[in-house]
Amino acid sequence: MTARRLLLLGPPGAGKGTQAKRLEESLGVPQISTGDMLRQAVASGSAVGREARSYMDAGKLVPDAVVIGVAEQRLRQPDASRGFILDGFPRTGAQAEALDALLARLGVELERCISIQVDEDELVERLLRRAEIEGRSDDNEQAIRTRMEEYRRKTQPLVDHYRASGVLVEIEGMGDVEAVAKRIQEALA
């Protein structure tokens, strides 16, 4: 059986979004990216978007209350009932606990957490290239370094949380997109 309720963990630039889009096609379940949803809120100019932008531009994580609300609304949509690929949520212990509670209320369990491991110098290079291509104001070197530190401090402990629950698989995220995709497919079986 192939897992269909997934969480992708990894630092900014590890390729979570790229791999989530590939999985979305192959598994037929939606990618749920809080990063994309938050950037859409920023682009809309809404109050929550302006609040999120102040954190994103400084390279900081958006507060849990904002992220949890966005994620819960999305997981309750009909297309997520057959499965989902979480990309960028949860990022903190409080968010992981909120996700566990939400999934319990929905009567489903997380089937697999894929932790993508990538060298930090490679991550910085990837994010700077992406910033040039996409013109992303939240991807300058100072903001990237700040996000790496935030990741290590707040998100890395989630690896232990999901290891303890028995759903964690760590994979090497270096190499080309196809090689990483193959490793992820093997981890879903």
Q: Position 3: which residue type?
A: A
Q: What is the pTM of this model?
A: 0.81
130 near 39, Cβ under 8 Å? no
pLDDT tens figures, 95-147: 898 899 989 989 999 999 999 999 988 999 999 998 888 887 767 888 888 88
- Give the separation between CA 21 and CA 16, rounded to whole angstroms: 9
Bridge-partner residues for 7, per DSSP?
Answer: 86, 113
List, by residue number, the catalytic residues. 16, 91, 130, 136, 147
Domain count, the chain: 1
157 preceded by cis ω (within 30°)?
A: no
How does strand 5-9 pair with strand 84-87? Answer: parallel
CATH code: domain of residue 60: 3.40.50.300
**pLDDT 10s per residue in the chain (189 long)?**
689 999 999 988 899 989 999 999 999 999 988 777 787 777 878 777 788 888 888 888 788 877 777 777 778 889 999 999 998 788 788 889 889 998 998 999 999 999 999 998 899 999 999 888 888 776 788 888 888 888 888 877 899 999 999 999 999 999 999 999 999 999 998
Range of the domain at 73: 5-188
In the three-class reduction of DSSP (H, G, I as helix; E, B as strand; rest coil), residue 124 is classed as helix
